[in-house]
Structure 1
Amino acid sequence: MTRTWFITGANRGLGRAFTLAALEQGDRVVATVRNPDTMADIAQERLTVLPLDVRDRERVIATVDRAFELTGSIDVIVNNAGYGLVGAIEELDEQLVRDQMDTNFYGALWVSQAAVPHLRKQGSGHIIQISTVGAVGSLPLFGLYNASKWALEGFSGSLADELRPFGIHVTIAQMGGFDTDWAKSSMKFGNALPAYDETRSAILGMPGYPDPSAPPPPNDYESEWVEASPEVAAAELISLVNTSNPPVRKIIGPGAQQMVAMALDQRRQDYASDPEFTWPA
């Protein structure tokens, strides 16, 4: 069966891998990017590229409407647009925080809201929210990035329950580490304060934040840990959409299962050590 996909942030990293994987299996793709020129090297009849900044709700609604108008129906919506933000909570100014939430959280919310009326009308569809294993636990310096994904997962769980009666699936894809631009040119950083030098050294291996425009430093741990290619994630996504009854949550990536298990174990320990509340006598 030929499917039609709608993929945000399709020009690089996971989004590009998802787009190519769908095209390679003969599907149609409506790919959205801020700059359509970045997709010029993928010239296929089954690919439609539309400009979109997911932070703009009115533009999102108009673009999703246009995509359904062009294709007639869309089977898979992939909310992939997003980026990483690193910084201690104290180091993040208002603009950094708002930009992170506008893209990672609100962007996916606006696309989901825009797509649902069309999916209900056609009585089918699968919304895939690209999340992270960081949405299960927490990590110093990644508080706002994780918060954006925790928020994404919060509404997506409810959305899954709301849309199930209409024959529409929602899956939260909790991704592990992949070899993309997420931790490279697309990542943003807070305003480094000396108080967090030790924290940065422990988490990032350096007392300050790297210059995103500079070449990446040599990786001393490269022989011990090699991130999987985006194509691995794309293959898992294809397998997911081929599932007749897809799960609400799907963990994807090497080591990701263990990361989720550790985070959940820590939460269980916290709850177990907390005595049950009793009213004072």
Structure 2
Amino acid sequence: MTTETIDVRKHNREAWDRQVSLGNRWTQPVAPEVIAAARRGEWSVVLTPSKPVPASWFGDVAGKRLLCLAGGGGQQAPVFAAAGAKVTVLDNSPGQLGQDRLVAEREGLELRLVEGDMRDLSAFEDGSFDLIFHPCSNSFVDTILPVWREAFRVLRPGGVLLSGFTNPVIFLFDPELQDKGVLQVKYKMPYSDFTSLTEAERRRYTDKHEPLCVAHTLQDQIGGQLDAGFLLAGYFEDKFEKGDLVAEYFDSYIATRALKPVTP
């Protein structure tokens, strides 16, 4: 199984649909009290596992055209809508979009839901959005440079891209030893669940119906945004609060705030 012999998008769409049925943390819709608080102007969201995104990264979202890019799951998008934003959600998983629909119908919120590939935003015209919120999700595609180029295109001049992603270093370690409390380097970069594992190793994930990941380099994650034309205007690191051995040694998740210049 390689990226040449498997449809990455199809595999991960089906895997995330399965995760919805299993109640994965990132598929659980927000509670009514979260929406009620957002309507009062009291809200926060995450791009990474734990740390809330600074409010200053958003400004006032009321009336803004906001795209949740690969951000389904009934979590951030309904909060933005309750806070007054005009929200579109693009996600590869119909199940994840269904969680957003569930909250929208329950709370009387307006959300535009689009099933699609984060690498292809041809459904949207140039300059369609004021803000793009892109939580940790681009490890589920095999290339991310098109993601940054498309995000740049569909943002208006002066628009903002907020992104979360993994530090690729976390993919270097032997996962079986990691479960036993040992960090030992096993894999080389560039790492991919599709190309770096034996079939037996890959079944560790596929038998549990988990999505498969690709470890994109920081050059592609950060440098790719700059090459697309963005200016980096904010940065922080994060980790899982507990249950992650790597987190005992370093913060392995990254969030960036990038601006599309008003003039080229």
Q: TM-score, normalised by structure 2?
A: 0.35
Q: Which has the higher strand share?
A: 2
Q: Which of structures 1 and 2 has the bigger CA Rg?
A: 1
